[in-house]
Amino acid sequence: MRRFEGYAVLITAAGSGIGAATAHRLAEEGASVLVSDIDGAAAGKVAASIREQGGTAREFACDVGDKAAVEAAVAYAVEAFGRLDVLVNNACACHPDAPLFEDEDDGEWAVDLDITLTGAYRCARAALPHLVASGRGAIVNIGSVNGIQDFGNHAYSAAKAGLASLTRTLAGHAGPRGVRVNLIAPGTVRTAAWAGRDEQLDAMRELYPLGRVGEPKDIAAAVAFLASADAAWVTGAVLPVDGGTTAVSSGFKIMRG
């Protein structure tokens, strides 16, 4: 199934994990993909892999904390592909909590909010005129179950909750202009952030009703749905893709301790 023939897509933090899996999935379905990441070399490897598999991809080094870099990435996507139809906001930052809340660091709090929430705002603001012009524009924000209930990480969770709110308000603004805006809230996903912690991941699977943690391709499949015409009457939605963890009392607090 090639739902994205003729589409141009920009994905942030696409050099690995969820972003890379999403880039591959949308390219397999026919999209031309701009793989952007703060690590330009990582973005280049993903884009090269897509091209080796017969897809269309370019790479662009972009720090979503930098307004000029974001605007340059959007401009490059439009120049390279002639249009922009889909933006996937995947970039985030997550610092560990201090043992006591009163010891939290202002700088770490600011970074988590700036990259995770304000970065998505910068990207959406730069991309929106082009998404409107496409006539089928869509933004898919990658949130987290942390923005729905308590799994720790104060700053990251606040940023993800803010991203869900931005999804709703932007959906209301952009809907009459022909652009849909939705958010996916993943649970635990096996990415590089969990490198070296296989035992912890194995223990976590028992806390998920579906009996496993997520894989990047699980989130990529949900992005493909929300970005496609299959979701043409879906906007402002928060879609948990979490193996059922937000539907039940999972015991994560016990593990976190």
List, in sequence order, every residue forming a beta bridge with 240; answer none if it has no partner.
185
Angstrom CA distances, 207 to 76, 134, 219, stand at 43, 42, 19
Angstrom CA distances, 64 to 36, 171, 177, stand at 10, 21, 25
- Which position among 76, 121, 156, 208 bears the catalytic label? 156
Please confirm, yes or no, whether 156 is among the known catalytic residues: yes
* Backbone torsions φ then ψ of 10, nearest 5 degrees: -115, 125
Strands 138-142, 180-186: pairing is parallel
CA distance 179 to 172: 10
List the structure tokens of 99: 């043992």
Which residues are annotated as catalytic? 156
